[in-house]
Amino acid sequence: MNVLRIRNEMRNGKTIFDLPLRVTFYARVSTDKDEQLNSLENQVQYYTQFIQEKRNWTYVQGYVDEGISGTSTKKRDSFLRMIADAKAGRFDFIITKEISRFSRSTLDSIQYTQELLEHDVGVLFQNDNINTLDSDSEFRLVVMAGVAQDEVRKLSERLKFGFRQAIKNGHVLGNDKLWGYDKKDCVLTINEAEAQVVRKIFELYANQQIGIRRISQTLYDEGFTSRKGGPFNVLTIRHILCNPKYKGWYCAGKSQTVDYRSKRKIFLDEDEWVLYPDPSIPAIVSEELWDRANTLYKRRSEQMKQHQSGAAFHNRYPYSGKIICEEHGTSFHRQVLKSAQGSKEVWQCRVYRDKGRAACSAPQLRTAELNQIMADIFDRLAQNKRAIIDAVAAVLQAVPDEHDYTQDIRRIEEDLSALGAKKDRLLEMSIEGIITMAEFKQRNDGFNQQAQALEERLAVLRAEAEKGQRTSAQLEEIRAALERELAFQNGIHSALVTTILDKIVVKRNSTKEKIQLDIYLKFGGLWEAAFDRADSSLCFTRPKSTTPKAPTRRT
């Protein structure tokens, strides 16, 4: 029925119960506790009976959400399905208990009731006595929804206060399944069987300086498994290493909720955490061992960040993910071996790295050998190097050097302007107390670094824009550089490998002395290579133009 027609009927003295409507209901509880679920059953029974008793109404199956908060509608499947069904015209009217059952967000409440009205569907908030088919309902809805939203804010503040009081009273909050402890009534006691694993992890990491993945495999090999019976997840080991509770310290307040409605959190700097020695938390490892392990962990993490910084990171290791063990279908991983003679980069099957030589017979591959093989392949592909050099030179001469840098310069200037706006907004957030001074400094420093990089790039572009055409001397320099590259005087360039190599399959019959490889190129060619380490000889069979089916790579 049309909303305007319904409102005209109601102005003429009819009530909502006198109109022939298809009616459904929406019920929800915010927890999955037994008493709440009983309340939900009562709601369903009540509304089913209430609708069916109305002579002019047609009952439509109701919609129910269990154990879901009313703060947001994003995860309420039945609610969203009800909205979709309303838009599809499957009913005319919805009954629900109160606005807080619909949503505690003013924005959500108004948005959805307006959407429903646009599709000729009304809502009766029974306890609030608001019927959206009444012409004055929207004003009352705004008032009531605002009250409900303020209740959420007050509840959030009460919870925060309760947490702070619990911490002061020595109650241990947080994870009830912390490895190495049993927790009852907010009190931790050591679970000796699990604590043995915690001590082992710290010993392997801090004293033997074994990596986290190898620790997981070592524990599994020695019979220590996760609660599910498998190897320890590397994230679990990281969390154990970084949790101050294992040295007898309380740790909380690592994040702060910025907006109680969206539940958006920001992570605080370590100096802002609630962190102190707590007599109520029994230590599993000594403070000295914990501190030493975390010093090592932070140093390794920082090295990894530096290792991954820079635009060229993803092209640093052109063989990553491209070497496959035919025996197991797994990829080879990079390893740097150090000796008195220096360091060398090698690649090892993942099964070999995890379980040792007894599990995989595939030999290690040396990057230097792979580079030699790839250089030989490219040398065969590009037999007429002089023709290649002449072709590149011709292209350079044909294309004007007067590159229009205007667009690139304008784009960077726009990025700089956007960064300036972000810094202004960051300052406003700091003044308003949304973020801490420490977070402001950290993020502002990050913006400054970005701006510096953009300024440097802008200076380069402006300098390039001022350059004239290439001279003949510059062209000769380019020719000489191409000749050096194609002669592989400094080894094969990683970008070249990335350009032409699809994957390398290490054959089952490979040994430490004699390696058999199938090398697949991106343009469809297959080269079968045999490399003899005794005399560094390399032999290719006739390259095939079609690519046979390669072994499936396991994930």
pLDDT in tens, 27-46: 887 654 444 545 778 889 99
Same-domain status, 123 and 136: yes
Instruction: Answer yes or no: do 470 and 536 share one domain.
Output: no
Predicted model pTM: 0.36
Residue 412 is assigned to a structural domain of this protein: yes
119 vs 32 pLDDT, higher one: 119
Distance CA 55, CA 17 (A): 8
392 and 515 housed in the same domain? no
Report pLDDT for 276.
75
pLDDT above 80 for 72: no
The more confidently predicted of residues 159 and 312 is: 159
105 Cβ contact list (under 8 Å, min separation 6): 71, 72, 73, 145, 149, 152, 261
Within a domain: 228? yes
Task: Identify which has the larger pLDDT, 520 or 546.
Answer: 520
Name the percent of the chain lying above pLDDT 90: 21
Domain final position from 456, 484, 512:
484
Q: Could you tell me the CATH number of the domain that includes residue 66?
A: 3.40.50.1390
Same domain, 320 and 302: no
CATH number assigned to the domain comprising residue 229: 3.90.1750.20
Report if residue 169 sits inside a domain.
no
Q: What is the pLDDT of residue 186?
A: 62
CB 417 within 8 A of CB 244: no
pLDDT at 124 over 60: yes
**Residue 71 scores a pLDDT above 50:** no
218 and 96 belong to one structural domain? no
- Domain total of the chain: 4
- pLDDT of 358 higher than 90: no
Question: Is 167 inside a domain boundary?
Answer: no
- How high is the pLDDT of residue 498? 74
pLDDT at 551: 43
Report the b/e string of 22-35 with b at 16+ CB within 10 A: bbbbbbbbbeeeee
> Are both 9 and 135 inside the same structural domain?
yes
Q: Tell whether 98 and 226 lie within a shared domain.
A: no
pLDDT(468) > 60: no
Residue 240 lies in a domain: yes
Most confident of 61-75, 435-449, 504-518: 504-518
Q: Do 391 and 470 have their domain in common? A: yes
For the cut 80, the answer to whether the pLDDT of residue 198 exceeds it is: yes
Bridge-based pairing of strands 501-506 and 323-325 is parallel
Whether 399 is covered by a domain: the verdict is: yes
Q: Is the pLDDT of residue 143 over 60?
A: yes
- Report the distance separating Cα 34 and Cα 49, nearest Å: 23
CB-neighbour burial class of residue 304 (10 A; exposed 0-12, middle 13-18, buried 19+) = exposed
Is the pLDDT reported for residue 135 higher than 90?
no
Whether 551 is in a domain gets the answer no
Q: Where a domain ends, among 286, 308, 330? A: 308
| Domain shared by 467 and 391, yes or no | yes
Q: Which of 257, 286, 308 is the last residue of a domain?
A: 308
Predicted confidence (pLDDT) at residue 144 exceeds the cutoff of 80:
no
Comparison of pLDDT for 79 and 384, the residue scoring more:
79
Instruction: Return d(Cα 497, Cα 502) in angstroms, integer.
Output: 9
Q: What is the pLDDT of residue 325?
A: 94
Output the CA–CA distances (angstroms, integers) from residue 332 to 271, 325, 329, 338, in the order listed.
Answer: 41, 7, 10, 19
Give residue-wise pLDDT tens across range 226-263.
Answer: 888 888 888 899 989 988 889 988 776 666 554 444 45
* Domain hosting residue 457, numbered range: 385-484
pLDDT at 34: 45
**Does 202 share its domain with 256?**
yes
Q: Which range among 38-47, 153-162, 368-377 shows the weakest confidence by mean pLDDT?
A: 153-162
Instruction: Confirm whether 117 is domain-assigned.
Output: yes
325 and 413 co-located in one domain: no
Cα Rg for the chain, rounded, in angstroms?
34
Task: Tell me, yes or no, whether 233 and 356 share the same domain.
Answer: no
- Give tens-digit pLDDT for 376-392: 887 777 665 666 667 66
Q: What is the pLDDT of residue 424?
A: 80
Q: Report the C-alpha gap between 279 and 164 in whole angstroms.
A: 17
